[in-house]
Amino acid sequence: MGVDIQNKIRLALGSVKDHASIGKAMIYNHHNRKAFSDIEIAVLRATGHDNGPIGDKYMHEILFLVSNSPGSIPFLAERISRRLCKTRHRLVALKTLSLIHRLLRGGNRCFEQQLRSAHVSGHLQMSTNSFLKCSDPWSSFLRSYAAYLEERVGWAINQAGKLEPVMFNGLEFGCYEEKSVDMVFRKLPKCQAFIDRVLDCSPRDIVPAADSLAQAALVNTLKESFQVYIMLCEGIGILINMFFDLTRPARALACDILKRTSRQSKELHDLYETCKRVMENKNLEYPNVQIITMDHVLALEQCSSFMSTSTSTTPPPLSDCLTTLGKESEKEENGDNGSSSSQFSCTMETKISKVWVVFEEDDGELQVPMAMDIV
C-alpha cells in the first residue's frame, strides 16, 4: 500500500511539472515562432508522467508541425534530448526513447534523414546518464534500449519497407551484386552490431508484460531484429559460398565473422524463446534461428588451412568439410533421423511477417501528415 501511495504522489508531482513546463512553452510562444512552441508542447504532452502510452494524436501533431515548419527538426531533436536528459522518472525516460523510436519508424525518408543528421550533429542525444548509478532492472533496460536506438539511428527504412544500414556520412549503402565482397564485409558487421544491441535488451531481468510501455518498446525492437536477422542469414550464405574465392587474409576475417555469428545465433535463439514465454503479444512471427556451431567454423578454418598448404588448385567440397567436423554434434542434436545440422552451405529459410514497419496502433495513418516534403 505504501508503495502505491508513493507512486501516486510521484505521478501527481510529475503532472504538476508537466503543466509548468507546458506553461513556460506557451509563454515562449509569445516571443518566438508559434510552430516551434507547439512542437515543444506536443513533445511534453507525448512524454507525460502518466502510465499511458504515447498518444497517437501527439505523434500526428509532431509530424504535421515539423513537416510545415522548415528548419524545425534540430529544434525538435534538442527538445527531445533535453526532456530525456533532465528527467529522473523512468516512465518519462522510456516514453522519450519510445518517441525517438517511433519518429524513426513513422516519418518519410526526408524526415528520417534529417533526424539522423540531427543525431550526427549532436542535436539529438540519447543520454541516460541520470540512470547510470542505478542497478535496478528497469534502469538497466533503459540504458540497453538507449544503446539500441544509438545503433538503430544508423539504419534506414528503404522503399521496400525493410531496414538497411547507412554510411556514417548519411549516404545509404549502394545496391551490391550477389556475392559482392564489399557487401559482405561492410554489411555483415553492421548486422552483428545491431543484433548485439537487441540481445542487450533481453527481458530476462524485467518482465515487459508487467508494463505496457516496456513491452511496446521491446515488440518493435524484436520486429526490427527479425528483418536484420534475415539480412544476416543471406549475407552469411553468400560469405560461405564465396569463401574459397577469397584471399587468405579475407578468409581469416570471414572466420572471425562466423565465430561471432556462432555466438549470436545461440543467444538470439534463447532470446526469442524467452520472449515467446513472457510477451503478451503472441502475434509475432519469430524467425527460425539457424544455430551455427563452432564445428562449422572450425571446418572452414581447416579447409582454409588445407588450401594454403596444399599444392592442389582445387579445394575439397565445402559440404564434405562441414560434414567431417559436424557429425558428432549432428548425432547429439538430431540422432539418426537424417536431419543434418552441418549442411550450413544450404540456403537458410526463415518464416517472418512482412508487415512490421507500421505500428499496430497507428493503422498506417502515421504516414499521412508527412506526405508533404520538408523544405
Q: Of 17-31, 117-131, 146-160, 282-296, which range is least confident?
A: 17-31
What share of the chain has pLDDT > 70, as a percent?
66
With a CB cutoff of 8 Å and minimum separation 6, the contacts of 234 are none
Please give the average per-residue pLDDT across 254-276, as a whole number.
93
CA–CA dist 305, 325 (Å, integer): 15
CA–CA dist 150, 281 (Å, integer): 25
Residue type, 141: F
* Residue 340 CB coordination number (10 Å): 15
Please give the average per-residue pLDDT across 345-366, as a whole number.
42
Torsion of CA 65, 145, 92, 5, to 10 degrees: 160
Torsion of CA 351, 284, 99, 365, to 10 degrees: 80
Q: Closest Cα to residue 359, out of 214, 215, 201, 220?
A: 220
Q: Which residue has the higher pLDDT, 12 or 129?
A: 129
CA–CA dist 350, 248 (Å, integer): 31
| Model pLDDT, residue 15 | 55
Number of H helices and E strands in the chain, helices first, is 12, 2
| Most confident region among 8-17, 103-112, 233-242 by mean pLDDT | 233-242
- 224-261: pLDDT as tens digits: 999 999 999 999 998 888 888 888 888 889 999 999 99
Q: Is the pLDDT of residue 289 over 90?
A: yes
CA–CA dist 37, 175 (Å, integer): 41
Query: 155 — phi, psi (to 5°)?
Result: -125, 150
| Model pLDDT, residue 171 | 40
Is pTM beyond 0.95 here?
no
Angle at which helix 90-106 crosses helix 212-241, to 10 degrees, equals 50
Q: Is the pLDDT of residue 365 over 80?
A: no
Q: Is the pLDDT of residue 349 over 50?
A: no
Tell me the β-bridge partners of 176.
Answer: none
Q: Closest Cα to residue 333, out of 255, 269, 285, 275?
A: 269
Please give the average per-residue pLDDT across 140-164, as a whole number.
92
| Model pLDDT, residue 357 | 42
Are 99 and 63 spatial neighbours (Cβ–Cβ below 8 Å)?
A: no
Q: Closest Cα to residue 106, out of 66, 166, 47, 53?
A: 66
Residue 258: exposure state from Cβ atoms within 10 A (0-12, 13-18, ≥19): buried
Q: Closest Cα to residue 80, out of 58, 61, 99, 62?
A: 99
Are 96 and 42 spatial neighbours (Cβ–Cβ below 8 Å)?
A: no
Are 117 and 170 spatial neighbours (Cβ–Cβ below 8 Å)?
A: yes
